[in-house]
Structure 1
Amino acid sequence: MLAGEAFERAEPHLASGISRLLLSQWDQAQEDRERLRDNRYAIERMLRPRRTRHACSELDIHLATVDGDGWDCGYRNLQMLLSALVKGLVQTTHNATYSASGQGPPATPWRTGQVPNVLAIQEALEIAWSCGFDEMDRSHFYEPLRGSRQWIGTSDAAALLRYWGIDVRLVDSDPQFQSERESRHQSLMRWALQYYVRRCARAGGCIVCRQSGRSTARASDGDVSNARAVHAGSKRNDWIPPLFFQYAGHSVTVIGVEIDLRRNESCLLLIDPSQGVSCGRPRIRAWTLQDLQAVQYQVLYIHECVFLDERTPMKQRQKLSSLRLV
């Protein structure tokens, strides 16, 4: 047989073998690419943080008296809120403008730079009542408040803060007014989460985000030389106040939220004034949705404008707005 004839007969088999070889190499390359992509995704999942946190601005911890029965928890939560207010707003445009206006009591914490004690809070609250702030709740106290061990709640704290010129609001969570499709107090958990995420974004990052390098860009505050010309009702976005949580017989301060990115779950980070300290540090508790076992919750928060407009009529200042979650 001639060599040319042998080659012609072997050519189809040779071409088929080469095709199979090329296809197998192509399949192997595809498998290698898919394996590499899977490994890259696995590494990204490993490097991705499992949890992220958003927290309020700096505050002082005020705990309940050791020999008490928890009657002063409302005062302690209010003191923590006021300490954050003092630290965040002293020497700011709000403080300068509001003080220059000549309105408001001279002993307000952001003017003195000090958080009032329980006795001073009781005295100031009685003055606020006498000025027409929350007169309805005043009738619930069976004796003069000053010097007593009667507890206060979010509505009493709101009356005092609005008397001092702070724009505070209330949020009510009652399951009987909520949709049957949602779990108990799920709307409250979602609202608290959105509160911290939104305030953190507008502040360009909370203290936790800034420490971890997750701060985001925010709008410039403008020329510092014109700070005193800023209206008292303008926004101060770089300060994140805590939340005052109240339920039947007790109250706590929510200082932040924690989000589990993998499970898509969240929890509230809070300080309970009655829990004391552990190893010299305040105990920070984490509440998931399952921990919200009370029938009703009421939340006090400071609006982004912080101060009420000095032109707001007194009747409107005395009126407290409340948001009912549905």
Structure 2
Amino acid sequence: MSSNWSSCPFCFQQVLSVDLQRHANDHFEDEPAQHIPVMQSEMYQTTIDDKFRCLVRSQVKDPRFKVKSELINLLNNCLEGDIGISILSGYVDHFASLAFEDVGWGCGWRNIQMLTSHLLYQTQEERNVLFGGCRFVPDIPSLQKWLEIAWDKGFDTPGSNHFDHKIYKKRAWIGTTECAALFRSFGLRARIVDFVSASTSDGKRRVTGPMDRYMKRSDADAGPSNGEKCTQTFNGHQVLVNWVWSYFCDNNRVDKSGPKQVVVTQKSPLYFQHDGHSRTIVGIQLKKLPNGTQQHNLLILDPAHTTEVLESCLRKKVGWQRYIKRGVHTLKKTEYQLCFMDPGIATGAEMEKLKTLDSIRVEF
């Protein structure tokens, strides 16, 4: 006769029913005063704090998190030999979708991993709060559990309802809202910007806020935070590219008339979403063409590319452009979304406000 098995309500591991009581109590071995009664006939409701503590212990590190990756250094070397001015976000690990794991649906999670690798490297503040202070990039199943905890805490209730409050073990596409809700649940100030074609726009402008400051509006308006003024009116998808340039220029003086240069900033990468796929923007390049016009190239890490091939091309300085550079002419979708991180950790009333997602809507 086969044995009876039960699922642990903390780590979801399958254990023998007769051992479930002992297994559940083991999760609280550092808190001996607690005793968790387990009934074999029914599952009891655990608290959010219980789930949080358990996930901190049971989450799994993605084996590709390198801690000291050379990727951005290699990209820096390639850009130094290129014509133009480039601005980079700094340290980022590349996470590729795997053939038998998440190809076709996991790009959003891979971009969250890329952003996480940057945030863990950048400041002590983020390291202390992200994923219970584990100091590594969790794998996709662990990230799915963290998103469920964010929903349990009240972050992005409409998004939670869309997924019926469950995402763990689902091969479901996610986007900027799930990214923002996950990071906001740790107190990070994740912001969303919508870029929408005027032909598809409903004419409604959502709330303005911190994400508004990277917009170039007209000659009369203030330009980016580095003091530049917009001297030209741009149309179409160039609006998105201008926003990205202003974002990476923020607090970094860039001389457009100077020689070729690469500026490495402390700005976080951008989660870059459009219909059917998402990628990570790690920087932007500006070139002056012979006819006097200017050309921008987004510098992108794509989860659809193989990390080993990408690193090899960067190391050899051959063929890397087709993997990383994306000009304005490649932006053909009618809608795009960006998610970025403002510095610092929210607490108190601000943390409560972060539970409701907002954005600025920009037409092009």
Q: TM-score scaled to structure 1, two decimals?
A: 0.65
Cα RMSD of the aligned pairs, angstroms, is 3.0
Match of 1:186 among 231, 238, 258: 238
In structure 2, relative to structure 1, the CA distance for the partners of 1:279 and 1:297 (3 Å cut) is: closer
Following the alignment from structure 1 to structure 2, what is the Cα–Cα distance between the partners of residues 50 and 280?
A: 21
The CA deviation string for residues 163-191 of structure 1, in whole angstroms up to 9 with x for no partner, is 01100100100012599x85322211110
SS in 2 for 1:318: coil
CA drift of 1:279 comes to 6.4
For the Cα contact (< 8 Å) 2:87–2:262, is it kept in 1? no
For the Cα contact (< 8 Å) 2:119–2:126, is it kept in 1? no
In structure 2, relative to structure 1, the CA distance for the partners of 1:169 and 1:133 (3 Å cut) is: same
CA drift of 1:200 comes to 3.7
Following the alignment from structure 1 to structure 2, what is the Cα–Cα distance between the partners of residues 256 and 71?
A: 25
1:64 paired to 2:101: no
Aligned counterpart, 1:311? 348
CA drift of 1:70 comes to 2.1
Following the alignment from structure 1 to structure 2, what is the Cα–Cα distance between the partners of residues 199 and 110?
A: 30
Q: How does 1:30-49 map to 2 (within 5 A)?
A: none
Aligned counterpart, 2:324? 285
CA drift of 1:314 comes to 4.5
SS in 2 for 1:164: coil
CA drift of 1:261 comes to 2.5
In structure 2, relative to structure 1, the CA distance for the partners of 1:129 and 1:260 (3 Å cut) is: same
The CA deviation string for residues 133-160 of structure 1, in whole angstroms up to 9 with x for no partner, is 1110122226831112112111001001
For the Cα contact (< 8 Å) 1:119–1:147, is it kept in 2? yes
The CA deviation string for residues 212-260 of structure 1, in whole angstroms up to 9 with x for no partner, is 87769xxxxxxxxxxxxxxxxxxxxx62210000001110001111100
Following the alignment from structure 2 to structure 1, what is the Cα–Cα distance between the partners of residues 262 and 108?
A: 34
Following the alignment from structure 1 to structure 2, what is the Cα–Cα distance between the partners of residues 319 and 165?
A: 13
Following the alignment from structure 1 to structure 2, what is the Cα–Cα distance between the partners of residues 241 and 182?
A: 25
**Greater mean alpha carbon deviation, residues 118-127 or residues 170-179:** 170-179
1:247 paired to 2:274: yes
Q: TM-score scaled to structure 2, two decimals?
A: 0.58
For the Cα contact (< 8 Å) 1:252–1:271, is it kept in 2? yes
Aligned counterpart, 2:70? none
Query: Which one has a larger percent helix, Structure 1 or Structure 2?
Result: 1
Q: How does 1:104-123 map to 2 (within 5 A)?
A: 108-109=130-131, 111-123=133-145
Q: How does 1:68-147 map to 2 (within 5 A)?
A: 68-90=102-124, 94=125, 108-109=130-131, 111-141=133-163, 144-147=166-169
In structure 2, relative to structure 1, the CA distance for the partners of 1:214 and 1:254 (3 Å cut) is: closer
For the Cα contact (< 8 Å) 2:88–2:262, is it kept in 1? no
Corresponding pairs, count: 235
Following the alignment from structure 1 to structure 2, what is the Cα–Cα distance between the partners of residues 293 and 213?
A: 29
Match of 1:197 among 230, 235, 249: 249
Which amino acid is 2:305 matched to? Q
CA drift of 1:95 comes to 5.1
SS in 2 for 1:325: strand
1:322 paired to 2:349: no
Following the alignment from structure 2 to structure 1, what is the Cα–Cα distance between the partners of residues 263 and 165?
A: 50
Taking every aligned residue pair, what percent have the same amino acid on both sides? 27
Which of structures 1 and 2 has the bigger CA Rg?
A: 1
For the Cα contact (< 8 Å) 1:268–1:287, is it kept in 2? yes
In structure 2, relative to structure 1, the CA distance for the partners of 1:73 and 1:111 (3 Å cut) is: same
CA drift of 1:60 comes to 1.0
For the Cα contact (< 8 Å) 1:74–1:151, is it kept in 2? yes
The CA deviation string for residues 61-97 of structure 1, in whole angstroms up to 9 with x for no partner, is 111012343211000000000000001013xxx359x
For the Cα contact (< 8 Å) 2:197–2:335, is it kept in 1? yes
Unaligned runs of 5+ in 2: 1-81, 204-216, 218-232, 314-319
Following the alignment from structure 1 to structure 2, what is the Cα–Cα distance between the partners of residues 246 and 61?
A: 17
Following the alignment from structure 2 to structure 1, what is the Cα–Cα distance between the partners of residues 288 and 282?
A: 20
